Amino acid sequence: MVSHLKNKAVNAVMSTPDDDSPEGNGDKYILRISAGPSYDISTHQYLPVNSEVPTAFENEFMTTKLKVRIRGYNGLPRTSSSHSPYFDHPMHSRDQYSIGFSFVPKKDLDAVHAAWGNDFDHPVRDRLPPGFNYALEIVKKVIDPAMEVDAYADKPWLWSPALDGFFKLRIGEKLSPEEQRNIPHSAESEPLEEGADGSGKQIREASGMPDNSEKRRKYFMNEENRAKFGVFEKDRLYHADFFNPFIDFNKFALKLPGFSLKVMKYINDKTHVLRYVFKNRQSDEVYFVVNITLLFGDDVAPALQEEDERSREASRGASMDGVPVGEQIQQRYEEPRQEIPFRQSQAQQEEPTTRSITKDPPPTQDTAPAPSPTVRHPPPPARQNEALTFQKTIAHQQNLAQAVPGHQQSSPGYQYGPGNHPEPQMPSTQKITSMLDPDEDGAQSPKEEFHDAKTSQ
């Protein structure tokens, strides 16, 4: 009988794909992972897969930090790494994916009926391949004998007791409100170890929990033993990790001992989301949800466009030292400009320039300088004094022009052209420099005021 079912499973793998499956259509497809505190997708965040930074969220029951790792990931967001150091660890060298999380309950949560598993909003019985029941028996025997499944219900489900379903479980200390603002999470290169920290050791000992993860899982298959544990305690830190080598999300294949199945051909618009849920089965309280979504067909292009928009928003809102880049730029331009003393080198004096000497870069040939603002403000008293000094200097030169024979008698800054009409022509920097020396105290001299006035024109 077992051999017969196995042959049917092999035939299912070799069968022709349905027209509405990604493989049957030849459509492009891509993975996207999201997680949040409820089933409502509007509360979810898209996860950066294989990131060292966990995604944080909360609801009325708990605060959660979560990471998803997938070997060889090639989905959204496109900035995700294809590899995680997690899979380099000998303990996870064969695993295909991991959902690791830390949580702190906001109140005591019943651990007896707390469940971890999968559920669906739509029937999947018409999408189940031949050999499914045989594969399910392997799963229950190899992965979790305490697993309960109803794949033929209108809303199918697969649940394990949370204390048994978490492959690694570590119990930590109680955290203060300040500590709960940034709850700790395991490092990417240091996968979670079974055990406890501080007073968490007393919790494990009091419930009779074995130190070994496999023995602990077997121990909590029994409801009476789960009752000894009682609750996930308010304000206490818990770490958990769920992983296995049986689901290959890159090839969309289920690989069990002695059995493998390509699931792509059985996916349609009702079965393209694999949902992992941490909840209480008795009260139906939902603690958090992780959606592993296969996008295909008409859903791919909008998802890629949304990804591009998010990338642009992220680049505009990226922050340095906690200050968004946009605010940094605004602050930079609101800062008063630093005036640089006007002291030219010999090379600069030989080539007159009319460019303002400020910390702004010089205009290039391809970029025209921005026009000067038209709004004028009255100069401060110090500038007014400098302007008076400059006027006295100009009057002195006019007197000098009248007193010295051969000196051109014209208004400074003007030369008379054809038709006796004045033709504006600003004097060179060399002439201005020869008129006055810079102030000894480094303040802006009259020639700088003249230069600024010319630039503003």
Supply the DSSP string of 349-388, one letter for each residue. HHS------SSSPPP-SSSPPPPPPS---PPPHHHHHHHH
The residue count for the chain: 457
Tokens of 1: 């009988």
- pLDDT of 309: 86
For residue 112, give the nearest of 23, 228, 191, 199 by alpha carbon: 228
Q: Which two tokens stand for residue 124?
A: 């999947």
Strands (E), 137-258: 148-150, 157-161, 168-174, 195-196, 231-232, 236-244, 247-248, 253-256
**How far is 289 from 35, CA to CA, in rounded Å?**
6
CA 15 to chain centre: 41
CA 73, CA 96: separation in Å to the nearest integer?
Answer: 10
- Separation of alpha carbons 273 and 442, rounded Å: 71
Tell me which residue of 354, 432, 362, 356 sits closest to 397, measured CA to CA.
Answer: 432
pLDDT at position 14 over 70: no
Eight-state DSSP code of residue 443: P
For residues 372 and 323, which has the higher predicted lDDT (pLDDT)? 372
What pLDDT is recorded for position 64? 97
pLDDT band of 268, cuts 50, 70, 90: confident
Specify the pairing of strand 195-196 against strand 168-174: parallel
| Selected residue with higher pLDDT from 58 and 261 | 58
Q: Distances from the Cα of 99 to the Cαs of 35, 140, 162, in angstroms?
A: 11, 20, 14
Report the percentage of the chain scoring pLDDT > 70.
62
Mean pLDDT to the nearest integer, 53-76: 96
Highest mean pLDDT among 277-281, 318-322, 451-455: 277-281
**pLDDT at site 379:** 56
Is residue 403 very low, low, confident or very high in pLDDT (cuts 50, 70, 90)?
Answer: low
The first and second tokens of residue 144, run together, are: 């979790």
Nearest alpha-carbon partner for 111 in 150, 62, 151, 144: 62
Q: What's 338's DSSP letter? A: P
Question: Which of the residue ranges 7-16, 148-157, 330-339, 366-375 has the most confident prediction, judged by mean pLDDT?
Answer: 148-157
- Give the separation between CA 233 and CA 176, rounded to whole angstroms: 13
d(CA 10, CA 348): 84
Confidence of residue 45 (pLDDT cuts 50, 70, 90): very high
Using the CB atoms, write b or e for 105-139: b if 16+ within 10 Å: beeebbbbbbbbbbbbeebbeebbbbbbebbbeeb
Nearest residue to 291 via CA among 264, 272, 309: 272
pLDDT tops 50 at residue 320: no
Q: What angle do CA 190, 248, 80 make, to 5 degrees?
A: 55
Residue with token string 């699931």: 263
Mean pLDDT calculated for residue range 44-64: 96
Token pair, residue 7, equals: 């042959």
pLDDT exceeding 90 applies to what percent of the chain? 46
